[in-house]
Amino acid sequence: MSTTALEAEGPLCGGGSPLVTKLETVARLTGEDRLALAALCEDPRDMGARRNVIREGERPDHVHLMVEGWAARYKLLPDGSRQITAFLIPGDFCDFHITILREMDHSITTLTRAKVAYIPRSKIDEITERAGIARAFWWATLVDEAVLRAWIVNVGRRDAFEAIGHLFCELYVRMKNVGLTTDHHFELPLTQEELGDALGLTPVHVNRVLQRMRADELISLKSGVLTIHDYRRLEAAAGFNPNYLHLADPPGLI
């Protein structure tokens, strides 16, 4: 994918805007669209790791957009355990239409140090008057729902090995789409506990699967960097089909 055109058009978030990188792989955006999108990433808040972006019960006044770093959507259970229902990476909206609702029914936390854009609803209303952008945002929203469906299948039907493999394939493809992979490795700053909270597994179980994947020479995970040594074999073992991410290659799907 090319970000050259964008870099030429303005500094703003420039070629580094993950939102533009993500959307322009599928959407036909004009130069003005790109500028308007990049402007959304302007002036994000710097946040530390494991800080709440918004908590269950709070009123959502802003749409949150990940500019840098990782976050998670989660639900706390009465016994204090946590189910993670989404990992949010650069270019992901935490919840595009959330300001329509009166209060949050779940929480969002950063997992790493992060830059998060807090976008007022009025700005979203303004920018979605552009037809190309409105369509691109609908695409992003539908893909978020498709990812959630894939996670339900993962948690409900796959064993631990397949489920972790599936999640790794998905995160690889999503990170690649925003230009954050190099060859077959990328930053995966998740602890085994966080992986377990996403998949309904205990940390020891996650650990055991990771060690087995490593022994099988499928992956290695060291210092927060995941390397997939044999993507095709991992994809086959996990039953991963990237169709639900609705990526276009070549660009210009919608």
Partner 1 sequence: MVKRTVPRFFFHVFDDVVIHDDDGLELADAEAARRAALAGARSLICDQVKEGRLKLHHRIEVEDEAGVEILALRFGDAIEIETDRL
Residues that bind partner 1 (CB under 8 A): 159-160, 191-193, 201-205, 207-208, 210-212, 215, 221
Query: Which CB contacts under 8 angstroms, 24+ apart, belong to 75-81?
Result: 75/106, 75/107, 76/107, 81/197
Q: Smallest distance, Å, CB 146 to partner 1? A: 27
Q: Smallest distance, Å, CB 208 to partner 1? A: 5
| Closest to partner 1 by CB, 159 or 183 | 159
| Closest to partner 1 by CB, 144 or 193 | 193
Q: Smallest distance, Å, CB 167 to partner 1? A: 17
User: With contact defined as beta carbons under 8 Å apart, do 162 and 6 qualify?
Assistant: no
Dist CA 119 CA 9 (whole Å): 22
Q: What is the DSSP letter of 44?
A: P
Q: Which residues contact 103 (CB under 8 A, 6 or more apart)?
A: 56, 57, 58, 59, 60
| Closest to partner 1 by CB, 102 or 222 | 222
Q: Smallest distance, Å, CB 240 to partner 1? A: 20
| Closest to partner 1 by CB, 176 or 229 | 229
Q: Which residues contact 246 (CB under 8 A, 6 or more apart)?
A: 26, 139, 142, 143, 146, 253
Q: Smallest distance, Å, CB 158 to partner 1? A: 11
Nearest to 82 by CA among 201, 166, 171: 201
| Closest to partner 1 by CB, 179 or 200 | 200
